[in-house]
Amino acid sequence: MVRNILVGYDGTRPADVAVAQAIALAELAGGRIALAHVLPVTEDAAGLEGAEAEADIAALALGQTERGAGNEIPDDAMQPVTVEEIHRRCQDLHIVCEDEQLFGGHPGIRLLRRSWLAELLVVGRGRERRSGQPGANTTFLLTELVAPTLVAARQYVELRSVLMPYKVSVDGGRGLSFAAQFCQMLNAELEVLICEPKRTVAHEARASVERFLRAYHIESSTDVALAAPHEAVQSAALERASSLVIVPGAHKRNYVLPWQRNETLWRALEVPGAAVLAYP
């Protein structure tokens, strides 16, 4: 299901957490890892004019440049893991790991282009501008979402308890199917939170979801929140101590205006100790 896993790696502590998460997923899925080592831009690799142009594109999507994010939370002071050590870990676990070096241009754009060929993109939170708000590159990747993208928690967590806010829609149905298969692979518990303001619609949806989940060999449960997904997801994840929140319908095609964003996704990213998977 997610055998082809792409990991963004830039030698920072958040990237180390993403790598550890990807290795655990690849071990469970019997998959392979493409370690996309994002190298810094040099004048030799790309002209300054071209690099600045691509950076401007990313800044436009973000609404701010990385240079403007002066209040970022610093990385952990611990020494990051080397690429050689990552390959050694994968070899010990019999996981195929290919090292790719992405040259030139803005790091977020390079990784976004490469993610077209991946079944799952795993990234760290980057340099958080404030608690719960990922760094500029991660924000850009979530804004321009191409492949299912897992944003690792600040520290490695075992993905045993999965929460998915569900709303009756095509995106909700696709997301539910993905979440059920993903939890079956992880051998994790899935809790589906039905988010519908009308009680009758919510209970009909709950019965439908429970019938659907019987087809999968997973431990699952459902609950009802008579509210919109973005209003319920944060408190629900905290109450249940969820280690992963899956947010369906996170693709920008679902937005009417260019500056809109998926509020459920950004609320989920504020949950401490939880990874977040944005599903397009």
What's the rounded mean pLDDT across residues 19-42? 86
Residue 250 in contact with residue 142, Cβ under 8 Å?
yes
Which architecture does CATH list for 4-151?
3-Layer(aba) Sandwich (3.40)
- Write down the pTM of the prediction: 0.84
**pLDDT recorded at residue 216:** 95
What DSSP designation does 95 have?
-
Give the tokens for residue 225: 């929140």
Reported as a single tens digit per residue, the pLDDT across 179-222 is 999 999 999 999 999 999 999 999 999 999 999 999 999 999 99
What's the rounded mean pLDDT across residues 260-272? 89
What's the rounded mean pLDDT across residues 258-263? 72
Rounded to 10°, the helix 13-29/170-186 angle is 80
Reported as a single tens digit per residue, the pLDDT across 135-153 is 888 988 998 898 999 999 9
In whole angstroms, what is the distance from residue 156 CA to residue 137 CA?
20
How many angstroms separate the Cα of 104 from the Cα of each of 46, 55, 57, 111?
A: 6, 11, 14, 11
* pLDDT band (50, 70, 90) for residue 259: low
- Which class is 161-279 in CATH? alpha beta
Domain residues of the chain, as ranges?
4-151, 161-279
Give alpha helix (H) positions in the chain. Answer: 13-29, 48-62, 83-92, 107-114, 136-143, 170-186, 199-213, 229-240, 263-268
The answer to whether domain 4-151 and domain 161-279 are alike in fold is yes
